[in-house]
Structure 1
Amino acid sequence: MALLDDIISVFNFLAIILGSILLLLLILSIMIVVIATLLLIYTIKTGKVLFPNLLVLGIMFFEGPIKAVTRLFGFDDSNIDRISIDMKNRAMWATFSKIPFEKRAVFIPQCLRSVDCPARLSPEGIKCKDCGLCDITRAKKEAERLGYMLFVVPGSSFIVRMIRKYRPEGIIGVGCLCEVKEGLDLMHKNKIPAVGVVLDKSGCVSTVLDWDKLFEVMNVSDPSVQPVQPAEQPASKDQTF
């Protein structure tokens, strides 16, 4: 009986310790969510970033709760996604900038093509014919000048396939807000330095991109140059990173 009482006492003690740890973790999580939410609201209102490491930590582990809280203050989820992309671009910028141009790849969504585009889908995406009907021709020439691999793709499956085939060491992904965010997360999991450039106007066709912004990113080889800011338009789920 004494042995049984001792075992019960040990289990009770362990339960108290475990409960205390869980309570502390819960309190810590709530504190991080509150602080990260306040920092996000400040960033959205002022455009200035305070304590970026804490902000990234909060978004990375508590994105759902943070978005739920910011909705109560009237902010759209795209505000959080935009800041998340900006933070991830900044985090990868120095590493990406040091990668030789010829070991980088840029992925452009097919929605940027002209509606009269004569190019057809191939196993490696849309092959630009240099017709000049859209600015993808300019991007192709810039990629060739620098030595980039450039792919015009209809979906994320093409991106994964080309990455497996050509093994780029750095990636520039163009797309709508949510797709760029998801693409950066995917590249982070695969330990590939990546930078996202967000479309100025999303949709299925006739989308809009600040091409000069893309060319600026493509030409960067100096870590001291600041990364471009993501676009301020609402996100759409129709585009490809």
Structure 2
Amino acid sequence: MMTDIRKYIRAVNVFLIMLVLGAFTIHIFLSNYISLLSSVINILVIGIILLILFSTIITYFIFYEKEVSKYLMKINYLIIRNIFPVISKVSGFVNISKDEIRKIFIKINNAYIYSNKYNFNSEDLIILIPHCIQNHNCKLKVTNDIDNCKNCGICKISDLQQLKEKYNTKIFVATGGTLARKIIIDNKPKAVIAVACERDLTSGVRDIRKIPVLGVFNSRPNGPCIDTNIDINEVEKAINFFTCK
């Protein structure tokens, strides 16, 4: 995780340099014509730089598990939600994988969610999982109903099914972002626990604004989208957090 935060800070630094150079260029061009507009742009750029520096410091503290108030967490989260698309694009110019930046975003999202308190019923939660968690050789497809699983134990579907029975919560297999959004709209949960890769998690969390979403990364020992794995303890921890158990 140390490597992740350093790469994120490097991408932020590049963005700040680009911002300063852009502002300087505009200032030179406009200063001879519209001094007031040039001053406004300078003030705006300075404000953005200060916000990003503040966010970077808070993000650094979060990754080192320093105590940060939930109010600062919220401000930081809102800043990162807005600058994430730009930082993600900038990362490509400095040979930083977008997945590294996406990990940062989900880490910040989860830290912000965990800084709050909830007391939902487990029936009000839904868990979204990708179809690639199921072993690709299994003939009992669980896309439509996870209860089709026969608990052979080859993949983690059986463990997820046990969680469903233990907590009486809903688990759905989402084959894509469109279906995930439809599941959320149809079921109207109070919170979501989403399991996916960096790209899909980031996209989903940014799409959902009105309810809390905790992201859980799946591991890909066999490559993307085939026989992926999941830390069941992390999913159960999320359930217990939302239900205050």
- TM-score of the superposed pair, with normalisation by structure 1: 0.70
Unaligned regions of 5+ residues in structure 1, if any?
1-14, 226-241
Whether the 8 Å CA contact 2:121–2:243 is kept in 1: the answer is no
Q: Find the aligned partners of 1:33 and 1:158 in 2 and give their Cα distance.
A: 34
CA distance in 1, matches of 2:240, 2:74: 27
> Are the counterparts in 1 of residues 81 and 206 from structure 2 also a CA contact under 8 Å?
no
| Map 1:170-189 → 2, pairs under 5 A | 170-188=191-209
Pair 1:118 & 2:139 matched: yes
Distance 1:96 1:167 in 2: 20
Matching residue's letter, 2:121 = P
Name the structure 1 match of 2:211: 192
Residues 53 and 102 of structure 1: CA distance in aligned 2, closer, same or farther (over 3 Å): closer
Give the Cα–Cα distance (whole angstroms) in 1 for the partners of residues 116 and 57 of structure 2.
29
Cα deviations across residues 115-156 of structure 1 (Å, max 9, x unaligned)? 22222366x466533242322112112112211111122112
Residue 22 (1) aligns with residue 41 (2):
yes
The separation in 2 between residues aligned to 1:96 and 1:187, in whole angstroms, is 19
- The residue aligned with 2:101 is 80
Deviations, residues 185-232 of structure 1 (Å, cap 9, x unaligned): 1112xx011111011226111112112221222233466x9xxxxxxx
Asked whether the 8 Å contact 2:125–2:169 carries over to 1, the reply is: yes
* Structure 2 partner of 1:157: 178
The question of whether the paired residues in 1 share the 8 Å contact of 2:142 and 2:149 is answered with: no
**Greater fraction of residues in helix:** 2
- Kindly state the Cα deviation for residue 58 of structure 1 after the two structures are TM-superposed: 3.8
Aligned to 2:128: 107
**Bigger CA radius of gyration:** 1
* CA distance, structure 1, for counterparts of residue 147 and residue 105 of structure 2: 32
- Aligned in 2, Cα 1:159/1:74: closer, same or farther, shift over 3 Å? closer
Bigger relative CO (Cα 8 Å, ≥ 6 apart): 1
Go from structure 1 to structure 2 and tell me whether the alpha carbon gap of 1:74 and 1:43 turns closer, same or farther (over 3 Å shift): farther
Shift of 1:78: 2.9
> Is contact 1:125–1:158 with CA below 8 Å preserved after alignment?
no
Answer with 195-204 or 102-111: which moved more: 195-204
Q: Give the match for residue 26 of structure 2.
A: none
2:240 is the alignment partner of 1:219: yes
Contact 1:102 1:148 in 2 (8 A): yes
Q: Distance in 2 between matches of 1:33 and 1:221?
A: 30
Aligned to 2:113: 92
- Amino-acid identity (%): 21
Match of 1:7 in 2: none
In structure 2, the residue matched to 1:140 is 161
Match of 2:226 in 1: 205
Q: 1:31 to 1:66 in 2, by over 3 A?
A: farther
Counterpart of 2:40, as a letter, is: I
**Contact 1:125–1:154 (8 Å) recurs in 2:** no
Give the aligned length.
205
Q: Which residue of 1 aligns with 2:6?
A: none
Mapped to 1, the partners of 2:120 and 2:163 lie a distance apart of 17
CA pair 128-216 structure 1, distance change in 2 beyond 3 A: farther
Counterpart of 1:47? Answer: 64
- 2:148 paired residue among 92, 106, 128: 128
RMSD (CA atoms): 3.2
